[in-house]
DNA sequence: CTTCTTGTTACTGA
DNA sequence: ATCAGTAACAAGAA
């Protein structure tokens, strides 16, 4: 489930490999992954990538010449994987050479082939992710829907406090709402709440100054650490390959329901539904 | 077989 | 306006 750290890891990986390369072929294997007119998409995208930006979990590829953009949202299971002709490199998390050799696979929805024989694959098991072309105006309209980037230098304590002010919603719903802060998803929302010692169900306007401060500080701390680790790859975490986004080793609550709390060591982590999402917490360490 | 999972939007009702 | 809840999208795991 790519959230900000995973999407940022993918962005950085792709920056090294796909810019200014001529695209010789674009294969659309599942039409619905492309939103909007498909012929128009092909025409624009064939110009190649000039730069890659990101807001929250949305990737923004700047296209050559056209003044247009390719917006890519991975939703839950989307992947962007780059494969050079000789050396096999993932555009995000590490995956095994065997997996790379097997591309395209049954979940490959799009394939870009570059002049040098390398490929960029868009895989998406659940088919919720999408790619679409946007001009400057449409791109601005899309990005305007997002709140402040969680890792932007403008994301200050003062800003955070003003965003929270008057919110009657649960802190978990607040963190998940991309209109407040862009980039936090279910995994990191739970991790932030745990690190701050705050129950995810707590109403935002019931939080004390020090609780709010802890939440603010941990958003930055946890997301930065996760990027350093190359994100969290939950599915890889489950298999025994040993190839995974390294932040899995630091998860304290996500995916640990029923297991002992790593802080107090005694209590079992509980799982409930908050804001429509599975939420894991320690009923003792979080107040 | 049913239930649950995830990101996001759209919708309904309070 | 604000907020909670749910369906929808799709596929697979348990």
Query: Could you read off the pLDDT tens digit of each residue along chain A, which spans 287 residues?
Result: 789 998 898 899 899 999 999 999 999 999 999 999 999 999 999 999 999 999 999 999 999 999 999 999 999 888 898 888 755 555 444 556 677 788 898 999 999 999 999 999 999 988 999 999 999 999 999 999 999 999 999 999 999 999 999 999 999 999 999 999 999 999 999 999 999 999 999 999 999 999 999 999 999 999 999 988 888 876 533 333 334 577 888 899 998 888 899 999 989 999 998 988 999 999 999 99
Whether CB of A167 is under 7 Å from strand C: the answer is yes
> Burial code of A102-133, b = ≥16 C-beta within 10 A, e = fewer?
ebbeebbbbbbbbeeebbbbbbbeeeebbbbb
Q: Is residue A278's beta carbon less than 7 angstroms from any atom in nucleic acid strand B?
A: yes
Instruction: Specify which residue's alpha carbon is closest to the C1' of nucleotide B5.
Output: A278
Residue nearest the C1' of C4 (CA based): A275
Confirm whether A2 is a catalytic residue: yes
Q: Which of A13, A35, A32 is nearest to A118 (CA)?
A: A13
As a rounded value in angstroms, the CA-to-C1' distance for A170 and B14 is 17
Q: How far is the CA of A254 from the C1' of B12 (A)?
A: 31
Å from the A119 CA to the C6 C1' = 40
The pair of three-digit structure tokens given for residue A239, joined into one six-digit string: 């298999």
């Amino acid at each position: 489930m790519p959230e900000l750290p995973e999407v940022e890891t993918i962005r950085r990986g792709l920056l090294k490999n796909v810019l200014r390369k001529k695209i010789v072929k674009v294969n659309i294997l599942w039409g619905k992954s492309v939103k909007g007119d498909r012929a128009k998409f092909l025409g624009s995208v064939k110009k190649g990538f000039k730069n890659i930006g990101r807001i929250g979990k949305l990737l923004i590829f700047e296209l050559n010449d056209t003044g247009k953009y390719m917006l890519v949202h991975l939703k839950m299971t989307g992947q962007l994987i780059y494969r050079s002709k000789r050396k096999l490199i993932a555009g995000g998390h590490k995956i095994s050479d065997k997996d790379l050799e097997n591309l395209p696979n049954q979940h490959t929805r799009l394939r870009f082939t570059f002049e040098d024989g390398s490929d960029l694959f868009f895989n998406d098991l659940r088919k919720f992710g999408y790619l679409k072309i946007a001009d400057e105006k449409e791109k601005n309209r899309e990005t305007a829907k997002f709140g402040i980037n969680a890792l932007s230098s403008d994301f200050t304590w003062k800003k955070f406090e003003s965003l929270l002010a008057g919110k009657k919603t649960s802190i978990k719903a607040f963190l998940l709402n991309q209109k407040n802060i862009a980039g936090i998803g279910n995994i990191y929302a739970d991790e932030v709440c745990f690190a701050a010692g705050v129950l995810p169900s707590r109403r935002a306007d019931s939080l004390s100054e020090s609780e709010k401060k802890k939440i603010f500080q941990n958003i930055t701390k946890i997301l930065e650490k996760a990027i350093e680790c190359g994100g969290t790859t939950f599915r890889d975490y489950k298999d025994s390959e040993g190839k995974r986004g390294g932040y899995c080793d630091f998860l304290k609550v996500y995916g640990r329901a029923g297991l002992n709390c790593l802080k107090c060591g005694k209590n079992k982590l509980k799982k409930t539904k908050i804001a429509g999402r599975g939420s894991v917490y320690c009923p003792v360490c979080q107040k």
